[in-house]
Structure 1
Amino acid sequence: MPRRNHMPDLLESQPDSPAASADARPDPAHDTPRDTPHDGARDRTRDGARDGAQNAPQRVRVMLPLPFAGALDYRMPPAGTLHPGDIVTVPLGRRTETGVVWDTHLRLPPEFMPPPMPTVATGRLRAVSARLDLPPLPAALRQFIDWVAAYTLSPPGMVLAMALRANAMAAAPRPAAGWAVTDTLPPDLRLTPARHRVLEIARLGTPLSTTELANRAGVGASVVRGLVQAGCLREVALPTPPAFGMPDPTHAPPVLEGEQADVARALRNTVAEDRFSITLLEGVTGSGKTEIYMEAIAACLEKGLQALVLLPEIALSSQWTGRFARRFGTQPALWHSDLGTRLRRVTWRSVADGAARVVVGARSALFLPFARLGLIIVDEEHETSFKQEEGVTYNARDMAVVRARMDAAPIVLVSATPSLETLANVGAGRYRHLRLGARHGNASMPQVRTLDMRADPPERGLFLSPVLTGAIRDAIGRQEQAMLFLNRRGYAPLTLCRTCGHRMQCPNCTAWLVEHRARHILTCHHCGHNEQMPPACPSCNAEDSLTPIGPGVERITEEARATFPDARILVMASDTLHGPAATADAVERIARREIDLVIGTQIVAKGWHFPHLTVVGIVDADLGLGGGDLRAAERTVQLLHQVAGRAGRAEAAGHVLLQSYVPDHPVMEALVSGDFTSFMEQEAEQRRPGFWPPFGRLVALIVSADTPEAADMTARALGHAAPHLDGVQVLGPAPAPLAILRGRHRQRLLLRARRNIPVQPIMREWLSRVKPERGARVDVDIDPISFL
């Protein structure tokens, strides 16, 4: 298949296309929608497509947030003209739906174009019901939605649903009412002292609400209502205060010197260029990456533009927003699933009208209707939590690059341990690379060493080496803080019967139930099934025979409390920290030195700054290396390096101890030496010959069905219809590692292709040849991260 310079290659996971280069001139026929500015000056119009005419005045296309193959045709309403981006209501069957007037022509590369929708005769079209009084969806966002749908092989309406949130579409709240004195008072008004005070205050000029007016006059609200009934006060709309403060780029600029100043200046210059570009900001843990990329945000604000910051975990937002407020004098806008309905509506509108200048959010913030997007930051770009695994499967890091291109904005990818995909693009010259090689101030990198668990084993029934417990005890004795890390929730990952060997398994999934001793339950972390811990084995009825196998953080906490009885211990895990507020409180307690020992799962690896933390112990450094995952070694290095980076971030030196049974593993050697670059080069050389990402392309097909027979038959049919093309290989079908998930039986197939082959047309053709069995479903995952 001939090589094409096609749009998917602007992603960081596409290392062989010049389209990703900030300096390259892409072929507009294949890389960029023809009306999207990319290398020149930014088009600052509200909606560049609004001056384009429809094919026929009486026909309008409307995209609905439903799983249709494309936009539906409607008739223009009798009064008024609609433009692409307008949010409207339309009839659909016997109900009314909210949708968006869509562009007549899709601006996609040829291999991305979906099959044409059937044309409906004009006489059969139903009319658009109404245009809603809402900001229109910008042209760049509409193009982004089309692109994401085409790339992920998802119904475009389901991608639109992520941008057209139902609770964000509600009508704007009615302005609050206040009271002002009427021009003429009734001649028969009985003016009591209380009424006189109210009128005197109301005459001061600023309208006040009933409560405020009554409080200032020292009267009850009934006095104010009486004056309203008497015709002395007239209702006026109170001015609506801004939902978000205006960040001040000059509020508290940091003092940067040397390397930090050079990198900050380079990022500011990148923003000043006002065009699409991609920069990797790589810096060791504690090097001040956040403060430095905030200088890029400051440059964006100075230009009157909006900035978007994507964080991998919402729990990070508490400490991040604190830093932001200290730098810019106000809080940013937040966007995540925990927002209430009213705040979500206010935030959506503020983004659309440009009032929300900086938004920090989860991956869904990519689909907000930015009016003037001038910068995107992806913090911890290597994090796998940027991949959405349910519904529309997409990698927010990759799609952020696309969104930046659509808006002609620079994007900065930030990490201490960049992904191999990003490093491959740096090596090919498509991404600019800025580095911070030293920690901020007087801090030095922590000393890392492995503890060979064969030479220094823990006592029987325990999990912490005496060497590690000794280091923690010494740190606490010096009034410093320590941390224990184990990426496993609960008390034990497996519970079995000592008598018959029965293992407690989830009834809905091919997975063991995890014991959570604090709540006296067994739970499945895949489907959420819970059940009480039984007093006897459900298989052989032996009492008191169920035994926990292996440690989770609860079990490590139990051991730590017995080992360090006087220590103040805090557990940081998703089971113990419910929401950003709880996480913020935990972080504050650590900062106030109210905690001696932190025990946590991967949440503790997420960029926290704990200046008094000097000792970090990795309970099971080998945990992530099993299972045959393509990225197992890369992920383990990234995670453990991030955890290790919590130690020694101030004057006191940091020490990291890795408990391992394979201390000579390349991952352990890389962590001890700190040579992340050489390790990633070795990883690249192992993947290159087999065309594994980032040197090849992967697509996963996940077949699920209510019965194993339906799953097997559908998977076999896909296997028989698999494409036979040069440079393309199909692996499978085979049972998925989680052969049953949420009660559905699962099979997997994996398509692997050379880098220069667009997989979307191959997948569309392949899927069109197979009709799933009754009750079966085929999910497509372009660029899969998980192989479960």
Structure 2
Amino acid sequence: MKVASVLIPLPVHEAFDYEVPEAMALARGDQVAVPLGPRMMRGIVAEVRETTGSNRRLKVVETRLDDPPLPPGTVDFVEWAARWTLSPPGEMAATALKGLRAPRPRPERRLRRVGDRTPARPTAGRTAVLAALGEAAMPGPDLARAAGVSSAVIKGLVDEGVLEVIETLADAAFDAPDPAHAPATLNADQGAAADAIAAATAAGGFRPFLLDGVTGSGKTEAYLEAVARTLAADPAAQILILLPEIALTQDLIARITARFGAAPAEWHSGVAPPKRRRVWEAVVAGRCSIVVGARSALFLPFPNLKLVIVDEEHDGSFKQEDGLVYHGRDLAVARARIEGAVVVLASATPSLETLWNAQGQRYGWLKLSSRHGAAQLPDIQLLDLRQCPPDPQTWLSQPLREAIAQTLMAGEQTLLFLNRRGYAPVVLCRACGHRMTSPDTDSWLVEHRYTGRLVCHLTGFTMARPRICPSCGAEDSLVSVGPGVERVEEEVRQLFPEARTAVFSSDTVPDARAARALIQRMTEGEIDILVATQAAAKGHNFPLLTLVGVVDADLGLRGGDLRAAERTYQLLTQATGRAGRADRPGRAILQTWTPEHPVLMALAKGDRDGFVEAEMAEREAATLPPHGRLAALILSGVDAMAVEKVAADLAAAIPNAERLEVYGPADAPLGLIRGRRRKRLLVRADRDVDLQGFLRAWLARVKVPGSVRVTVDVDPYSFL
């Protein structure tokens, strides 16, 4: 008999075996309907094998579905990703099927000619309509534009029975990009980078590259030229470009459309489900050449993936920490290796992991050392707040205020950067010291003055700001502590009432359309001062922006996070790099209480190599990534005693292993989220230790009750 192992899109840790009927031909990647309990479920065939029998009666595959099979490389990737992250393969399979499970687009209404019928009155307009239509079927508005007539002419032909309305489900397809449409003029470094990437795709096989270029050096132009050469050599090739945030997709889509004369496909949470299904079907059928998307686009069913580009590869947004826990950059490299494709990791501030691979020659290292054209890197000044502090209850020092005024007089733009949303990060009671927190969560409530509400950015809880302290009952005792972008904007409007001021954060631009509109206003010079979080700190090109003021350069350096220094250096480099990207020189002023901090000194000197060398030495001394590996187990549950017991059981069941340590269990920094108590255990291992094997053996020793959730985070980026 034949047996099929089927991945069911549920959080189950193994494929289920089913008997294959004799008349049914199945192969790896086929989609099937199989019984699971009382339900019929969709599944993906992971394996088909011959067997002489089974010691248990197997259920039978109901039918092979007509939906397209997943390409073998996609199934390989789903299984590998599940093993690497210790996630249920069924959940990974569900991610790969997400587009197919979306509703189909509505049928499209089109017009076609009825036989050889002719109009009773063949006017010039009617004749033009029939000539434009020919034997095809077209949507009414498209036909009217093509014939140069009004909709009334079309309606008259329908009323006469010369044209009829039909409903069709058009094949998912995207216009083919033209590699020769509008080639860019590249400098020597850009041309060398494009040559190397294109040569690697032409040669075939897996090859990783780091595209390392200073802000404004033209990395996008370089990799788009490599895309063009890849498509010129193989028109059937497919290219995936990953971006960390939705807000960045619109600018890149516009640039791709201008370069190739055709828009790419778009894949992220902001795309409507019917459109996501259209993209999924076009990708699996090979009718889509370029996809621009978020990290989940890695799971699309590419049959001919030749090039993967991870733009802003250092960005922490590539790490998914809810649901399936994985790092998009690392899985992109794995997907390229499985597919035998080229992968390009592009950044002005590469992660230490990527730099370590480039230094060890595991990745090709392509460097763009200067800005494109006449633009120069901005001058960076550290402004010591101990010498010139802001006035009480204000946040901008006098030198920064003067710089803003000078910039306004020159008709140029200012970006004030503070990576903190809302009006104030803490609201507390002057009478008793109580801090407002989210119910059933340790997270502080952030005041949002625009809406008059307190918001938990972790859980989404929101409430009106109360007049009475919920702890002591004192009236009008709650005060706002610290600045957010709304509070900085309030100060800017008081200082510069004539300036056109706006805020750019995920609160003020909640979707891609709003982000696109604000970016367009900034690009066209309709905003004088932009107060922004990291939403504006990367990937954007504002020609009139010449001054960046960092309100609190010390913000990211606080706390004991392993990557605090690296992240702060990257974020501030990206933020200050927005200045002077055109023909006007730029400058950046960083307000700090600790100008002697090594991160800030490296920024001011433009000494990235010195910073990286020092940070690498610290990591190597502690055998931390990239010189070692980390994994975390996060336990959570409503019953605190049950969580404590599982934590104790895990601590008692740690397998013996060399070159590996386990720390904890300890309370998580946020010990309570949505009513669930949380504990953490952290594993540190040398690079050559089988960390996943250790974790599997460890978890197999402990029976975890259903009331406690254990989340495995391989290579954690957040330690909340």
Question: What TM-score range do you get, normalising by the shorter chain?
Answer: over 0.9
Q: Is 1:182–1:234's contact at 8 Å kept on the other side of the alignment?
A: no
How far does residue 540 in structure 1 lie from its aligned partner after superposition? 2.3
How far does residue 531 in structure 1 lie from its aligned partner after superposition? 0.9
Q: Is 1:494–1:550's contact at 8 Å kept on the other side of the alignment?
A: yes
User: In the alignment, which residue of structure 2 is the partner of 1:295?
Assistant: 225
Query: Which amino acid counterpart does residue 46 of structure 2 have in structure 1?
Result: W
How far does residue 512 in structure 1 lie from its aligned partner after superposition? 1.1
- Asked whether 1:148 is paired with 2:77, we answer no
Q: 1:184 to 1:765 in 2, by over 3 A?
A: same
- Asked whether 1:256 is paired with 2:186, we answer yes
Find 2:67's aligned residue among 123, 131, 134.
134
SS in 1 for 2:682: strand
CA distance in 2 between partners of 1:200 and 1:569 (Å): 51
Query: Which amino acid counterpart does residue 759 of structure 1 have in structure 2?
Result: L
Q: Per-residue CA shift, 1:37-85, capped at 9, x if unaligned?
A: xxxxxxxxxxxxxxxxxxx43x222211112222222232464412211
SS in 1 for 2:681: strand
User: In the alignment, which residue of structure 2 is the partner of 1:92?
Assistant: 36
Q: Is 1:274–1:409's contact at 8 Å kept on the other side of the alignment?
A: yes
CA distance in 2 between partners of 1:287 and 1:572 (Å): 24
How far does residue 93 in structure 1 lie from its aligned partner after superposition? 1.8
Range moving further from structure 2, 397-406 or 93-102:
93-102
CA distance in 2 between partners of 1:481 and 1:368 (Å): 40
Find 2:455's aligned residue among 503, 518, 523.
523
CA distance in 2 between partners of 1:544 and 1:343 (Å): 50
Question: Could you list the runs of 5+ residues in structure 1 that have no partner in the other structure?
Answer: 1-55, 106-117, 186-190
Q: Is 2:99–2:280's contact at 8 Å kept on the other side of the alignment?
A: no
- Report 1:366-377 matches (<5 A): 366-377=298-309
Q: Is 2:538–2:578's contact at 8 Å kept on the other side of the alignment?
A: no
- Asked whether 1:706 is paired with 2:650, we answer no
User: In the alignment, which residue of structure 2 is the partner of 1:30?
Assistant: none
- Asked whether 1:282 is paired with 2:215, we answer no
- Report 1:632-781 matches (<5 A): 632-773=564-705, 775-781=707-713
CA distance in 2 between partners of 1:266 and 1:166 (Å): 34
User: In the alignment, which residue of structure 2 is the partner of 1:69?
Assistant: 13
SS in 2 for 1:781: strand
User: In the alignment, which residue of structure 1 is the partner of 2:4?
Assistant: 60
Range moving further from structure 2, 199-208 or 682-691:
199-208
CA distance in 2 between partners of 1:512 and 1:234 (Å): 62
- Report 1:236-635 matches (<5 A): 240=170, 243-302=173-232, 303-304=234-235, 305-635=237-567
How far does residue 173 in structure 1 lie from its aligned partner after superposition? 6.6
Q: 1:237 to 1:205 in 2, by over 3 A?
A: farther
Query: Which amino acid counterpart does residue 103 of structure 1 have in structure 2?
Result: E
Q: 1:280 to 1:192 in 2, by over 3 A?
A: closer
SS in 2 for 1:519: coil
- Asked whether 1:206 is paired with 2:135, we answer yes
How far does residue 321 in structure 1 lie from its aligned partner after superposition? 1.2
How far does residue 515 in structure 1 lie from its aligned partner after superposition? 0.5
Q: Is 1:179–1:202's contact at 8 Å kept on the other side of the alignment?
A: no
Q: Per-residue CA shift, 1:120-161, capped at 9, x if unaligned?
A: 948833332332222210101100011000111111000111
Q: Per-residue CA shift, 1:711-732, capped at 9, x if unaligned?
A: 1111111111122322111000
Q: 1:345 to 1:166 in 2, by over 3 A?
A: closer
Query: Which amino acid counterpart does residue 550 of structure 1 have in structure 2?
Result: G
Range moving further from structure 2, 67-76 or 367-376:
67-76
Q: Is 1:194–1:217's contact at 8 Å kept on the other side of the alignment?
A: no
Find 2:45's aligned residue among 78, 86, 101.
101
CA distance in 2 between partners of 1:785 and 1:593 (Å): 37
Q: Compute the TM-score of the two structures, normalised by the length of structure 2.
A: 0.94
How far does residue 263 in structure 1 lie from its aligned partner after superposition? 2.3
Query: Which amino acid counterpart does residue 74 of structure 2 have in structure 1?
Result: L
Q: Is 1:615–1:654's contact at 8 Å kept on the other side of the alignment?
A: yes
Range moving further from structure 2, 683-692 or 126-135:
126-135
Range moving further from structure 2, 471-480 or 210-219:
210-219
Q: Per-residue CA shift, 1:274-302, capped at 9, x if unaligned?
A: 22101101000000011111111112211
How far does residue 260 in structure 1 lie from its aligned partner after superposition? 2.4
Query: Which amino acid counterpart does residue 288 of structure 1 have in structure 2?
Result: G
SS in 2 for 1:518: coil
CA distance in 2 between partners of 1:417 and 1:599 (Å): 23
Query: Which amino acid counterpart does residue 285 of structure 1 have in structure 2?
Result: T
Q: Is 1:691–1:754's contact at 8 Å kept on the other side of the alignment?
A: yes
Q: 1:691 to 1:720 in 2, by over 3 A?
A: same
Q: Is 1:443–1:648's contact at 8 Å kept on the other side of the alignment?
A: yes
Q: 1:197 to 1:131 in 2, by over 3 A?
A: farther
Q: Identity of counterpart residues, as a percentage?
A: 47
How far does residue 629 in structure 1 lie from its aligned partner after superposition? 0.3
Q: 1:176 to 1:779 in 2, by over 3 A?
A: same
Q: Per-residue CA shift, 1:305-360, capped at 9, x if unaligned?
A: 01000001010011111111121112111000111122111100111111110000
Query: Which amino acid counterpart does residue 575 of structure 1 have in structure 2?
Result: D
Q: Is 1:207–1:236's contact at 8 Å kept on the other side of the alignment?
A: no
Q: Is 1:699–1:780's contact at 8 Å kept on the other side of the alignment?
A: yes
CA distance in 2 between partners of 1:182 and 1:663 (Å): 81
Q: 1:506 to 1:220 in 2, by over 3 A?
A: same
SS in 1 for 2:473: coil
Range moving further from structure 2, 767-776 or 369-378:
767-776
Q: Compute the TM-score of the two structures, normalised by the length of structure 1.
A: 0.86
Higher RCO structure (Cα 8 Å, ≥6 apart): 1
Q: 1:616 to 1:744 in 2, by over 3 A?
A: same
Over aligned residue pairs, what C-alpha RMSD do you find? 2.7
Q: Is 2:111–2:140's contact at 8 Å kept on the other side of the alignment?
A: no
How far does residue 362 in structure 1 lie from its aligned partner after superposition? 0.1
CA distance in 1 between partners of 2:619 and 2:560 (Å): 14
